Structure 1
Amino acid sequence: MAYVEDSEFERDTTYIPDRITRDGTTPDGRPGWPVEPGRYRLIVARACPWANRSIIVRRLLGLEDVLPMGIAGPEHDERSWTFTEDPGGRDPVLGIERLQEAYLARDPHYDRGVTVPAVVEIASGKVVTNDFPQITLDLSTEWREYHRPGAPDLYPADRADEIDEVMRWIYTEVNNGVYRCGFAGTQDAYEKAYDRLFTALDRLTERLRDQRYLVGDTITEADIRLFTTLARFDAVYHGHFKCNRSKLAEMPVLWAYARDLFTTPGFGDTTDFDHIKRHYYRVHTDINPTQIVPAGPDLSGWLEPHGREALGGRPFGDGTPPGPPPADEEVPAEHRARALAA
C-alpha cells in the first residue's frame, strides 16, 4: 500500500480499522470483534517485515493454539499474496488461493492493497482487519487471558507512552525510511531519504550503546518493530533499496543489538532470509527488472556472539522464553542452512 508523490515515497496507511478486543467493544469507536480462540486465522508472509512482527509477537505470547496462522508464499503479483507453498496452492484452512479472496468476501468492491498481516474470520472467510500496528498491540493487551504461562509483557502499561513515542519515530524514520530510499523517484528525493535514514540509525546507535533494549531492561514491542527492519537490512535494503552508506554488519552497536535479538527464541527462528530475498528481488520489478536474486551476502555472522549480556537486562522480564515453534510453522531447514552457512 504505497505510492510516490512529488518523487517521494508515501505509504497508504488506510487500513481496515476493525479491532479484536476482549469483549468486542472498542474505546476508540472502531468496529469491534470479540476475542475467541479458534475463530480467526492470522495470515502472514515471512518475507514481509510488517507481518514478521505479528509472527514474533504471537510466538512470544504463546498464542499458537488459539490463533492459527496461515503463511503466504514469498511472491505476489499486482492482485494479491498467494499460497503457493501450501499443498494445491491453497490455504489449508480457508481454502483460498489468494488472500484477495478474503478481502473481497468482506467487500466485493474492495480496491485497496491486499496486505499482510491480515486476520480472517474462519467461518465467513472475511478479513476482519489488516491494521498491522494495532494487531500486535491487541495481541499483547486484549488476548492476555490466552497468553502462555510465562509470557512476557511486551507493552507494559507503565512504559506505554515511551514505547509509543519510540515506535512512532522508528516507523517514520527507519521502518518506512528504507522504503523512502528504495522507491524515491528522483536523485534529490533519494539523497534526502538516505540522509534521513542514516541520521536515524546513528541516533539509534547512541541510544543502544549503553542499554540492551530500546525501552527499559526487557524486550518490548518497540524492539520487535525495529528488529524486522534490521533483519532485512544487509539481505535486501543495503543493495536493493540503495541504503548503502554502511551495512548493518558495519555498524557495531546495531549489529550486536540485532544479533542479540536474532538469537533470542521467537526472533531468529521466525526469520526466513530465503523468503525475504525472493520477495524483494522478484516482486519489485520496477527496481530489479531482471528478477535475479543475488547469491549473497554472507549472513553467517548472525550467529556470532554479540556480547550484549554485559549490559544487563532481562529479555523476558519475569517471564520465560517460548518453546520451539510448532513443526508446521518452522522456517524450512534448507532455508536456514542456505542463508546462514559460513
Structure 2
Amino acid sequence: MCRRDSSGYNVNVFEGKQEQMLKVCEHIQETGFIPKELVQNEVTWFYGNLGIDDMYFMLESVDTIASHIIALYGSKILAFTKSDHTLDVNLVRETDENAVYIHTSRPGVSQTIEYQPEKSIDEKYLDISNKEQAFRLETYRSSGTVSSSFDAQLRCYFVAKCDFVQPMPSPEEESNIRLVSDKIFLSKATENTLEVYQKVINNVLSRTGPVIEVFNIEGSREKRLVIGYRQRSTQHFFSAMSDLYHYYDLYSSRKYVEQFSNGVTIMCLYLNPLANSRSPPIEHSIYQVMKEASLIYCLPTTPLQSFFQTKVLSVQESIYGYVCWIFCQHFLNRLGNEYSTLAGIMDANNSTHLEVLTKLKKRLRSDTFTREYVLDII
C-alpha cells in the first residue's frame, strides 16, 4: 500500500564548509599536483557544483578531501589522454569504526566490474552487524556532474559504527525506537521517520521474514521503500536490492540502512524512474519490486547473478535456474546402473573391494556431472 510521506531525514548542514574549503585550497596548492591557477576552480566545483552531501565534508579531514580532489583531477586527465569520455573514480577509506566510498555511478545500472562497493559494504559491515556491534549506512548520489566536460555522477557511501542509546535493552524497552536507536540516527530522523520505523520494528519483532512498506513522496514521482528484517537473517541483501530495482529501470537518490540494538535492521530506499525508460511506470513497477524483495531476501545471490544484473534474466528466471542447478546436483544419478550391478557382485565384507568401490564412486561423482558442468548446461 502506498502512503504519503514527507522528507524522512533532516538535511545535513556543515557550518564550517566555507572555512574548510579555504584550507583545502591551501593544502592542494602546497602539494603542487594541480596547477595553482586551476586549484580554486577544481575545489569550488567539488564543493558546490558536484552536489556531494554535506555529510562527506563533516566526516572527512582536510587532507583526505584534498587527496580526493587530486585523485578526481587525475582521473579526468587520464580519461582525456585516452580520448575516453568515461570517467572511472573509486575512492575508498576503510577502518574498523567507519568507512567512506566514492565512485562514479550511472543511474539505474548495476556494477559488474571486479570491485563492487556495495558488495564490499555488505561483507565488511552490514552482514556482520548484530546487537553487540552494528554499522549504519548513508549513501547519496551527487546532484551535479564531476565537471563540465564529463557527465558522470558520483555516489558516496558513509558507514559508521552505531552508538546505541540503550545497547542492551530489556524486553520492555526493545520495542521503543527512542531507546534502541543509534544516537546519530535519532538526531537526523524526522518525527515522520520515527513513526514509520516504529511500526516496522513492531512488525519485525512479531513475525518471521521481512516487513516491506512503500510511501509516496509529496510533489514528485519518487517512492520511498522501507524494508525491515532481523539482523543476520540474510546476506548481501543491500547490494541485491540495487540489482532488483535497476532491473526495472529505477535508480536511488539516497539510501539508508539503520541498525537497532533489539536486533532489527531497516533499509530505506528513495527510488526514481530513469528518463526515457521502457519499463512500466514507477507507480506500477514499485509493487513488483515490493513483491520480489521478499524473494531477494530469501536468496540474495546466485551463480546466475550476472545475468540478472545485466537484465538478461529476471529475478524469477535466475532463481528458477539456480533451483534447477541444485535439484540436478541432488537427484542426477551420476553412478549409473553399471555401478549398482558391480556393487552387488563385490563382497561387502572384503575391505579391498570396499576401498575400490569407494574410489570408483568418488571418481564417477567428481568427473562426470560436476557442479560446474551442470551450471554450464543450465
TM-score normalised per structure 1: 0.26
Indicate the structure whose relative CO is greater, using CA pairs within 8 Å and at least 6 residues apart. 1
Larger Rg: 2
Higher share of residues assigned strand: 2
